[in-house]
Every structure is written in structure tokens, then in C-alpha cells.
Amino acid sequence: MKAPAKTGTIRLSADERHARILRDLRLNPALRVAHLAKAFGVTTETIRRDLDALGADGRLARTYGGAAAAPGEREPALHERQHLRVAERNRIGGRAAALIKPGDVLMIDSGSTTLHFARHLASRLKNLTVITNSPAIAATLGVNGTMKIILCPGEYDTFEGGVFGVHTVEFLKQWHADRTLIGASGMSIGGPSEAISDAVHIKRAMMAQAKRSTLLADATKFDQRHLELIHPWHLVDEVVVDQKPPPPLAEALREADVKVLVAPA
């Protein structure tokens, strides 16, 4: 089992411990109380209270002597997702790229579908300005040679292939964009949702700084509701998908005036 990052002599707040525990559960099937107490330099009683609080919120499952990821909340790592539904995500990326004009300023969230989108941008568009929290997206667009690429600062998460944290959010507030493009873990009638809280903060910050917000999601996300709501549907302008959403979800999108763009086969 991979150990949580050592904190040295710095005492973490409860919120910081909670965030690190949840991040470590994305990499490990289970964590032990004694192991966490030693890594964070706190008592086992403190860790038990942390796990009890996270368990009460449904963010993890308490086990004897530790905790496991909450059922349904663990997603494959980015390097695993890149090999799933490749054709569908490539189609979505191509359809989304058709929305972009030379000279646009974009914010692009880290993710497997947004990486497909970036590949289409690199081959089709010129003179874009792109702000992203994904080193892979920055590298993909960098081969184009005509684009200005701004990579966010922050704490790099190997599992998600992006940078996250308060420094990333604050950095994003300095910029304005024509369009933000994000992914999501799920789409339900209440809105798009995400299994990872750190990612939610980035998506919200990007959406707040853009004139338009576009969600890229394949059909496996339909009628899926994960831990945290990103935003209600009325704050999303378009969704780009690989097939039509089922009737209840389609109706929710119509009522919120969200344009549904289906990528052609």
C-alpha cells in the first residue's frame, strides 16, 4: 500500500487531513488508522474522528481498523480512462472542436475526453490561448506552435493527471475566457457531478471565468450521480455527447436551456 505523503513538522488542519485521506483512497483500496496516524503525526483517536466524519458524509466506507473508498466513488486513473471508449471520446472531441474559432481564449479541464478534444484543436486550429490544469493537454497543444498555453500552478495529482488545490483556483481567477470545457463523472437531472472534490473546485472556478461553459461526456455518464454536484444545469451552455440522452435527462437539459450536441458517428 502506498503511504500518504509525509507532512514533516507541519500540523495539518482537519480539512487538510480529510482531503489527503480521500486522495490516498483513490490510490489504495484501503487505509489503516495506525498508518494514517503515523503519517500525519497525530493520535489514532484523531484519525478515527476524521474517518467517522468522512464516513458520515458518505465520502468513504468505515472498516474495522481503517477505511475503504465509498462504493461507486472510485474512478479509474486517467491513464486507465484513456484506453476506454476511445472512439466515442474522439468523436466528442471532434464535435467540440468545431465550436472553437481562431483567436478564442479557452479554459480546459484535465480529463480523458478533454485530452481527445485537445488533440483535435492541435490539428485543426491556430492562434488560440489555452489555460489548463493538465500538463498532458498543454503538451498536446504545444506541438501546434501557434497557440499560447498557460499551465496552472498547483499540487500535481498523478491519479488525475492534473494540478489541483487552492493555488490553482486562485490562479484561475486572474483570467477570463470565451469558453470553458470540462468533463464530469456523471450526468443526472440535477446537473453534472464529480467523484473527486478537488476536481470540482477547478471546474467551478473555470466556469466562473468564462462566457460559455461546455461539458464533454460520453453515454456511460448518463443517469449517473456522484459525490458532488459541479453546478446546476442552468449554468451549463452546451453538452457534447456521443448519443442522445435518455428522456428524463433530455427533458432536464431542455428545461435548463442547455444545447445538446451529438457527435456524428
Q: Is there a contact between 187 and 221 (Cβ–Cβ < 8 Å)?
A: yes
pLDDT at 228 over 60: yes
- What angle do helix axes 44-56 and 14-25 make, rounded to 10 degrees? 70
Are 79 and 230 in contact by the 8 Å Cβ rule? The answer is: no
Does 120 have pLDDT greater than 90? yes
Give the range among 76-90, 104-118, 186-200 with minimum mean pLDDT. 76-90
Mean pLDDT of 96-104: 98
Mean pLDDT of 138-148: 96
Q: What is the CATH number of domain 78-262?
A: 3.40.50.10470
Q: Could you tell me which CATH class the domain 14-69 is placed in?
A: mainly alpha
**CA–CA gap between residue 134 and residue 83 (Å, rounded):** 18
State percent of the chain over pLDDT 90: 71
**Distance of alpha carbon 111 from alpha carbon 132, whole angstroms:** 11
142-159 in b/e form (b: 16+ CB < 10 A) is eebeebebebbebeebeb
Asked if pLDDT for residue 78 goes beyond 60, the answer is no
What pLDDT score does 251 carry? 98
Phi, psi (5° rounding) for residue 178? -75, -35
DSSP codes, 125-188: --S-EEEES-HHHHHHHHTTSS-EEEEPPSEEETTTTEEESHHHHHHHTT--EEEEEE--SEEE
Rounded Cα–Cα distance for residues 184 and 257 (Å)? 19
Residue with the bigger pLDDT between 55 and 171: it is 171
Confidence band of 81 (pLDDT split at 50, 70, 90): low
14-69 against 78-262: fold identical: no
Whether 75 has a pLDDT exceeding 70, the answer reads no
- Range name among 44-58, 104-118, 135-149 with the lowest pLDDT average: 44-58
Query: Which tops the pLDDT comparison, 247 or 80?
Result: 247
pLDDT band at 196 (very low <50, low <70, confident <90, very high): confident
Domain extents in the chain? 14-69, 78-262
The mean pLDDT value of the chain amounts to 90
Strand positions, DSSP E, the chain: 30-32, 60-63, 66-69, 105-108, 129-132, 148-151, 155-157, 162-164, 177-182, 186-188, 191-194, 210-216, 228-229, 238-241, 259-262
Q: For the segment 156-186, what is each residue's pLDDT rounded down to a tens digit?
A: 988 888 999 999 999 999 999 999 999 999 9
Task: Say yes or no to pLDDT of 99 above 60.
Answer: yes
| Mean pLDDT calculated for residue range 55-60 | 85
The pLDDT value recorded for residue 9 is 45
